[in-house]
């Protein structure tokens, strides 16, 4: 190890996937004991570059130096031996394994698992205490919240003695409180000499936590600056190549007739009451935002209104006519026939079929549309042409209808779902976490699309853990806690502190 050498130095890294040039002659230097941010639009090549550093992909050409030493990284095992750990945007955990089993997977001490598990449990307990990453070692992954699953991913890397930690969109699935806890952990790691690379679209996080930030555009590294010497507006312009509106711009709402009326809605799932008597109305021409810490019933609310699960009580009407919430005849197809569009919270498990091509995903749920059919047969050419048109208008990269959904970046996957559901201007749009993992330019675009639907007289139910997004987009805000609505506010008459109290279960009177 050379004392003055950077922790990481990449020289001339290039990587192609068929005709797509994901990385083009990239060079990057990251100083030891710093937090280095990497920003860029969806599809800019950030995740590909870090996957090369972690050995998940192999570069077509270029060199990697770790602590001043040329270090070939043909696979992830070589990266781990070099002291590199990576927490991917979509976690790499075995859901029916315990926490401790996931941590030792691939790092067992021998043929017999019992000693490895005993050792790992002891080490995990110590790491959990040291870094405030408290997780039950014997908990099953699928029973943990998303925030706790991310803790497991970080613990897994620390258990492997990672000195360089790569985090790809780490707060995309976290609540503001969980994100703050994560940043305290990262600051502690930096203080101990660890080197951290942070990939994120959230410029506020870049400004708050990083020492240096690099900007990528269309597969190239375009700039590296000290964070203290830049601003969110300047970074956004470097990322997108134009000035970006960082604040939501909209006129006051003009609400019309009631589109959706929810009365005393209840959902019991897995033996637990998830919704406990939720009631509200949404009118034409308004955005009704629901804030709350993940796991307090928002997901179940979207799922029962979207026809994915059944309710155990209550009623829902749309334009005064009952909406089936029994789970019997309710499904996505019947919802679309009623004029309901649904952008689900989890694009990969609920919004897309990952091995299927983009044009197939864009047609899902709308395959009976006359423009998609030629007599008794589906017109695949028409579907592909329609997908290409949507990709161009929603700036999906690469604009290739024949590319499987799994080959797009997370943000571009989100754009495919948004294009499918919003382009048809449904009377009611159910939208969960619309900009999760989406770059700053695409966030601006998606927000404009949501507002445009509102201004066409459509009703929008917006669920988001991003309080900036809820306050900026919503015309009315409700806060959910433990399956109930704690209170309702107008965005210009509240702030994040008051909403945070309601999200924590503090009653309106006490707040």
Q: Does 498 have pLDDT greater than 80?
A: yes
Report pLDDT digits (tens) over 435-482: 877 778 788 889 999 999 999 999 999 999 888 899 999 999 999 999
pLDDT of 169:
83
DSSP 19-63: TEEEEEEEEEEE-TT-EEEEEE-TTSSHHHHHHHHTTSS--SEEE
> Do 245-339+427-511 and 8-240 fall under one CATH topology?
yes
Record the pTM.
0.73
Which of 26-30, 221-225, 370-374 has the least mean pLDDT? 370-374
pLDDT of 286:
98
Which CATH architecture group holds 8-240? 3-Layer(aba) Sandwich (3.40)
pLDDT of 511:
40
Q: ∠245-147-56 over CA atoms, to 5°?
A: 80
With contact defined as beta carbons under 8 Å apart, do 27 and 6 qualify?
no
Is the Cα dihedral 413, 414, 416, 420 positive or negative?
positive
CATH of 245-339+427-511, one of 1.10.150.120, 3.40.50.300, 3.30.300.30, 3.10.20.30: 3.40.50.300
Strands 69-70 and 61-66: antiparallel
Could you state, in order of their start, the residue ranges of all structural domains in the chain? 8-240, 245-339+427-511, 349-425
Q: Does 406 have pLDDT greater than 80?
A: yes
Q: Is the peptide bond before 398 cis (omega within 30 degrees of 0)?
A: yes
pLDDT-based confidence at residue 163 (cuts at 50, 70, 90): very high
Which of 67-76, 143-152, 204-213, 311-320 has the least mean pLDDT? 143-152
């Amino acid at each position: 190890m050379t004392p003055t050498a950077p922790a990481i130095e990449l020289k001339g890294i290039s990587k192609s996937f068929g005709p797509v040039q994901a990385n083009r002659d990239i060079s990057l230097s990251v100083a030891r004991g710093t937090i280095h941010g990497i920003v860029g639009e969806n599809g800019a090549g950030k995740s590909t570059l870090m996957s090369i550093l972690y050995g998940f992909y192999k570069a077509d050409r270029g060199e990697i130096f770790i602590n001043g030493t040329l270090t070939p990284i043909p696979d992830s095992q070589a990266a781990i031996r070099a002291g590199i750990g990576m927490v991917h945007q979509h976690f790499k955990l075995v859901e029916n394994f315990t926490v401790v089993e996931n941590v030792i997977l691939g790092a067992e001490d021998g043929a017999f698992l019992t000693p490895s598990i005993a050792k790992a449990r002891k080490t995990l307990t110590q790491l959990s205490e040291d870094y405030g990453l408290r997780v039950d070692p014997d908990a099953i992954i699928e029973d943990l919240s998303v925030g706790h699953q991310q803790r497991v991913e970080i613990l897994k890397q620390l258990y492997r003695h990672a000195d360089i930690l790569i985090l790809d969109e780490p707060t995309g699935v976290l609540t503001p409180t969980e994100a703050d806890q994560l940043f305290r952990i990262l600051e502690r790691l930096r203080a101990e000499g660890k080197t951290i690379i942070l990939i994120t679209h959230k410029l506020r996080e870049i400004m708050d936590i990083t020492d240096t930030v690099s900007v990528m555009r269309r597969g190239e590294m375009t700039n590296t600056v000290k964070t203290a010497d830049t601003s969110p507006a300047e970074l956004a312009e470097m990322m997108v190549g134009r000035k970006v509106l960082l604040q939501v711009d909209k006129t006051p709402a003009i609400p019309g007739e009631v589109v959706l009326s929810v009365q005393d809605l209840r959902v019991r799932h897995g033996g637990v009451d998830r919704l406990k008597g939720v009631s509200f109305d949404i009118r034409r021409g308004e955005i009704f935002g629901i804030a709350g810490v993940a796991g307090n019933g928002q997901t179940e609310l979207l799922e029962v209104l979207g026809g994915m699960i059944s309710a155990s009580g209550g009623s829902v009407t749309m334009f005064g006519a009952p909406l089936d919430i029994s789970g019997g005849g309710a499904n996505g197809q019947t919802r679309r026939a009623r004029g309901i569009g649904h952008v689900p919270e989890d694009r990969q498990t609920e919004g897309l079929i990952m091995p299927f091509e983009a044009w197939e995903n864009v047609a899902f749920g709308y395959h009976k549309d006359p423009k998609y059919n030629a007599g008794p047969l589906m017109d695949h050419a028409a579907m592909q042409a329609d997908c290409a048109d949507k990709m161009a208008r929603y700036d999906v990269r690469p604009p290739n209808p024949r590319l499987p959904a799994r080959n797009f970046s997370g943000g571009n996957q989100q754009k495919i779902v948004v294009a499918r559901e919003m382009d048809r201007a449904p009377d009611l749009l159910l939208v969960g976490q619309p900009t999760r993992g989406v770059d700053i330019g695409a966030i601006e675009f998606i927000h404009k699309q949501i507002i445009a639907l509102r201004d066409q007289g459509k009703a929008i139910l917006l669920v988001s853990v991003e309080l900036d997004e809820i306050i900026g987009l919503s015309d009315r805000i409700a806060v959910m806690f433990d399956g109930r609505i704690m209170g309702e506010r107008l965005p210009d008459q509240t702030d994040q502190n008051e909403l945070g109290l309601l999200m924590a279960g503090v009653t309106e009177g006490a707040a």
